[in-house]
Every structure is written in C-alpha cells, then in structure tokens.
C-alpha cells in the first residue's frame, strides 16, 4: 500500500470540493496513461455530495469514464433504495457519460444470478485483470463499521475468489444486495472513504486505531498497491488520537 492518509476537515461542507477534485485529478491521470477512467461508486450520503460538487465544476468531461458500483441493492432502478437510480437522477443524466460506460446490475434476476451477471460485466470491462483494478473506489462506512455490503461477522468477509458476491441477509434493509469483495476493493489504484458526522466517531476510532476482537470490515480495506484516503470531518474525528492532516476546502490531494 502506498500509505494511508487521514485528512480532517472542519465540516462536511469542506469535504465535498476536495472529493470532487480527487475524482477529476485521478480521472485526468488515468485517461492520460490508459485512455479511460474507472470509478466505483457507493450510495448513501455520498450520492448527493459527489453529484453536487462534480456538477459545480466547469468543463467536467465524463466521456471516457466507466462507472461501476461497489455494492447495489436488489431493487428496481426507480426505487429510492437503488444506488444507480439515485446517481442517474442526480448526476448521470446531467453529464456526458456514455450509457455504455455505466455498469449496472440486472435487478430482475435472483440475487445469486444477479451477482454472477454483474461479475461477467466486470470481467468484460476489465479483461486483463484477475480481479478488476479500478482507478478509484469511493466508499462509505456505516456506524457498525461495514463498507460496501460487507458487514461485521458475515461469512462474505472471508471471500477470496468471487469478484461480486450475493448477500440475501443484509442486517441493513433491503436484505438482498450484491457487493464487491475485498480482493476487488484492495486491488484498486486508489480508495477514498468519506465519513462525516459525530455518529461515526466511536467506530472511526476503532477502524483507524484498532480494537480488541476482529477488525471491522472498513479496517480491512488496505489496497495492495494503491493509495488509501480517509476524508472525514471534525465531528467524525473527535475521538482520534493518531496523527491526521488538517485541510480546508481548497486543498488538493
């Protein structure tokens, strides 16, 4: 791993612009060297933050972007729980990303078949990789320490062969989902967590500083050859004792 950077901002309002710059700077770098930018997206509060800040950028060009989903809920695209549906409404419909550049699940399939179908899509998009190597994955973390749909004490945490795994007993509704596995997450060239709000403070401390007992899923994100960023606000960082970087909204990572 190229090293973990924990970057603390005064509030979540300052995180957004820096996140948008991280996305566009990694996109420029990837397109210059490989001709395309591959981005893995997560849902939750990340959707509105990322959409708002990317759309505020002048001359945003997404024509060479390919976007996948770190996890997705097995619901129709017009369901408010659909991560793709939220991004479609708030971002994709307003930028020049090609339809072929958005890798969606097929929510009409049973959950195991859906995971296999999405695996095939990713293999076609990354034909040279055993596990897809994304340029950037954007992740969130729940107050229980989960990330993607990888939950504490779940058997999927030990999955080493699958690219995408089905989950039909998610502790957080909706219960049926598909999720990227740790081998995919840890193959990425860059992973950025966004974690804001005081409710995340206790778990963020245990993820970043260790805990007794098994590591939380979010703590097991350690890219083999990639960068790892934690972009957090002061309320989320309130309990940290490790050394952190403190930056404002104009910072560039």
Contact assessment for residue 83 and residue 75, using Cβ atoms and an 8 Å cutoff:
no
Per-residue pLDDT, averaged over 106-135, amounts to 97
Round to whole Å and give the CA distance between 30 and 28. 6
pLDDT in tens, 186-203: 999 999 999 999 999 999
Per-residue pLDDT, averaged over 68-87, amounts to 97
Output the six-digit token pair for 132. 């897809």
Domains of the chain: 21-179+203-246 (3.40.50.1360)
Q: For position 2, what pLDDT does the model report?
A: 59
The contacts of residue 245 (CB under 8 Å, 6+ apart) are 5, 6, 7, 8
DSSP H or E segment with residue 112? helix 111-125
Contact assessment for residue 161 and residue 198, using Cβ atoms and an 8 Å cutoff:
no
Round to whole Å and give the CA distance between 60 and 50. 13
Output the six-digit token pair for 173. 């509704």
Can you give the pTM of this predicted structure? 0.97
Round to whole Å and give the CA distance between 41 and 84. 9
Per-residue pLDDT, averaged over 116-144, amounts to 97
pLDDT in tens, 12-57: 999 999 999 999 999 999 999 999 999 999 999 999 999 999 999 9
């Amino acid at each position: 791993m190229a090293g973990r950077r924990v970057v603390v901002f005064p509030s979540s309002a300052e995180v957004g612009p820096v996140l948008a710059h991280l996305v566009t700077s990694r996109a420029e770098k990837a397109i210059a060297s490989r001709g395309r930018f591959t981005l893995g997206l997560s849902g939750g509060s990340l959707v509105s933050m990322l959409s708002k800040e990317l759309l505020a950028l002048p001359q945003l060009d997404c024509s060479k972007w390919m976007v996948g989903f770190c996890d997705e809920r097995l619901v129709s695209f017009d369901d408010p729980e659909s991560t793709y549906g939220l991004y479609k409404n708030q971002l994709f419909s307003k930028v020049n990303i090609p339809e072929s550049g958005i890798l969606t699940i097929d929510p009409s399939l049973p959950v195991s078949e859906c995971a296999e179908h999405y695996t095939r899509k990713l293999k076609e998009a990354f034909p040279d990789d055993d596990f897809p190597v994304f340029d950037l994955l954007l992740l969130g973390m729940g107050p229980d320490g989960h990330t993607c749909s990888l939950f504490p004490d779940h058997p999927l945490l030990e999955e080493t062969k699958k690219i995408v795994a089905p989950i039909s007993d998610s502790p957080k509704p909706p219960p049926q989902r598909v999720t990227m596995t740790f081998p995919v997450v840890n193959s990425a060239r860059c992973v950025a967590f966004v974690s804001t709000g005081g409710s995340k403070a206790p778990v963020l401390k245990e993820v970043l500083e260790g805990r007794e007992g098994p590591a939380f899923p979010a703590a097991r994100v350690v890219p083999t050859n990639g960068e790892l960023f934690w972009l957090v606000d002061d309320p989320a960082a309130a309990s940290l004792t490790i050394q952190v970087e403190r930056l404002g909204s104009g910072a560039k990572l």
